Structure 1
């Protein structure tokens, strides 16, 4: 076992240094901004927790780089069904707990875990393994329904939490994979129509509380109720606007000021961290963030295109799909272009489960890239 965790120098040379560097820079940039927007009330507390998860994530990253992803291939069903069981456990009183209106967390005693964060990886891996076994023949009716089954099972439990944000993430991950693998466009169109129908059904099912609906639709006219449903967006826009081109950098001052967004946007370190970044560092800071993201995604797409097998290519595709949707959705909701959901900004927002699963997913991409070539040991 320990011999498998030792990286040979010839494999180390194949590591995509660009992905590794951009990954670390993004996490450090996120941790810095988490500190700057929470230091006024909490000091180093949030930044220290995030940095601790950064260290844990780096250990996990090494593990998932060192072990050949071909070995992990054999354990995908165990991982997938284990995640499904954890999602079911969130419904059990005393084990599952409610956070921000959704029963989607498990109390571990020393902290909370969000199984839905791992579910998106479970879906990616299970679909990738299944497509490998099907030799990529996605348009055969039987194959399509098997793939759809694996995609739908975890999402059913996520929707009933209810967590519409993560449900949307899973849907667009699957959509990205299916589109890239050449699924018939008529089926994709039907899938999009099914999504709309599912949203309508869930919307009217009673699973979503009125205040959650109001928050979701508040982006259409935030000024109509800027004290309640439009509050987050209104305050976010004020904070972003005050940053200008170069940023106001209020948190760098010694007068104790942490900035408008930090003081007025609830839980700014999670879903609305982009508002704090844009206020702190301005348009240039936001562009820097997007450049780092762009380079990371570009390198992951390159690995997806050159992977030696379908399994590796689909994993990379699913992870790229996640990044693209999460970034567009999160930044879009902070500037009022899309509805507000609980989707975090990958590698930037505060949250241990989110950071760990995202780093693990990138570790798989690096792993796949390292083993594109046949290396004789």
Structure 2
């Protein structure tokens, strides 16, 4: 039977909600600056409203119900990924067939499936954590984890890396012996030639090569990163939005005419390269402010994970934290030229209704876990 909390206000984490709202509003403003039109925010705002409703509902439900349903969640997650392999679209628009279209509505199942895999893997690890360092138990857990990973990398290698990262972090937190981590690192290095020749297409290889030497293809694979670094550099300390001439109304008129003119030549500026928009518009100060907000978010999540009432809750929050961490590091890193371009969006900031809703639902699960533990002292 589903348990609903009848006195939620006492244990609701308002500070976490404040961080989420601040990040999302920052994202709305950044998308508006990038596109120059309020129309681009319609689906984003709709996803946000649905996400707030999801947070309220999920926070009232005892999260243990999801642990009891981990097998159906796991099966449904893999079924969605298999459907993408068979019927996925989007290669022409977004570079990968990672979208499903149902009745005119398009969505990216891998974003939703991330949460499903985190929940099911957290429960599966909890059931096996006492013997996690037994080789046969570990193989069983890794098999459970890598079935969805293999289905994801079939169409979207970048998203597959997110799955690999949160799986590794969850296993580490569950008590995986260091020797297995060393073995995995060695195996990863040895398998690089197999990955290069067997899994990466020419477009992905070019992205890796220009990461090391952008001059190899300055107007092709390296174009985005070159323009991104130029945009961020032009923002200097406090950004062009603040230092540009004119009053606030004139600034907004300027945005509406050009979508922040300096960024008109930057591809995917409102999605994958939203941090470049922030860098140019708000400068170093704006970029550091965003990073500070992300650090506050992750710090809060770690506190919640440490005080969860059981391993399932703790591992679920750790998985969500790892997922968000990978997105932050990869997205900001690739806009700065510190990481290869993989098409990974920035949580709560990048344009994308499915992605924002997934993050909000993830936070709803975190709220449910946070409300069923001892009080946090910040």
SS in 2 for 1:104: coil
Deviations 1:168-199 (A, max 9, x none): 11111011111112211111122233334555
Q: Which position in structure 2 is the counterpart of 1:170?
A: 163
Determine the C-alpha separation between the residues in 2 that align with 1:53 and 1:18. Answer: 21
How far apart are residue 373 of structure 1 and its match? Answer: 4.3
Q: Which moved more, 1:97-106 or 1:122-131?
A: 97-106
SS in 1 for 2:131: coil
Determine the C-alpha separation between the residues in 2 that align with 1:270 and 1:178. Answer: 31
Determine the C-alpha separation between the residues in 1 that align with 2:131 and 2:261. Answer: 53
Question: Is the counterpart of residue 276 in structure 1 residue 277 in structure 2?
Answer: yes
1:49 equivalent among 35, 39, 43: 43
Q: Which position in structure 1 is the counterpart of 2:332?
A: 331
Q: TM-score, normalised by structure 1?
A: 0.91
Q: Which position in structure 1 is the counterpart of 2:247?
A: none
The unaligned stretches of length 5 or more in structure 1 are: none
Deviations 1:196-244 (A, max 9, x none): 4555323212x53312321233221223422111100110011001111
Determine the C-alpha separation between the residues in 1 that align with 2:98 and 2:29. Answer: 28
CA separation of 1:49 and 1:335: change in aligned 2, threshold 3 A:
same
Q: How many residues align?
A: 365
- How do residues 154-233 of structure 1 correspond to structure 2 at under 5 angstroms? 154-161=148-155, 163-205=156-198, 207-233=199-225
Q: TM-score, normalised by structure 2?
A: 0.91
How far apart are residue 282 of structure 1 and its match? Answer: 0.8
Q: Which moved more, 1:233-242 or 1:254-263?
A: 254-263
Question: Is the counterpart of residue 149 in structure 1 residue 143 in structure 2?
Answer: yes
1:32 equivalent among 29, 34, 41: 29
The unaligned stretches of length 5 or more in structure 2 are: 245-249
Question: Is the counterpart of residue 83 in structure 1 residue 84 in structure 2?
Answer: no
- How do residues 101-120 of structure 1 correspond to structure 2 at under 5 angstroms? 101-120=95-114
How far apart are residue 8 of structure 1 and its match? Answer: 2.4
Determine the C-alpha separation between the residues in 1 that align with 2:258 and 2:107. Answer: 32
Determine the C-alpha separation between the residues in 1 that align with 2:158 and 2:262. Answer: 22
CA separation of 1:361 and 1:136: change in aligned 2, threshold 3 A:
farther
Q: Which position in structure 1 is the counterpart of 2:240?
A: 248
Q: Which moved more, 1:23-32 or 1:109-118?
A: 109-118
Q: Which moved more, 1:126-135 or 1:266-275?
A: 126-135
| Alignment root-mean-square deviation, CA | 2.0
How far apart are residue 97 of structure 1 and its match? Answer: 4.7
Is the CA contact (8 Å cut-off) linking 2:129 and 2:175 kept in structure 1?
A: no
CA separation of 1:194 and 1:140: change in aligned 2, threshold 3 A:
same
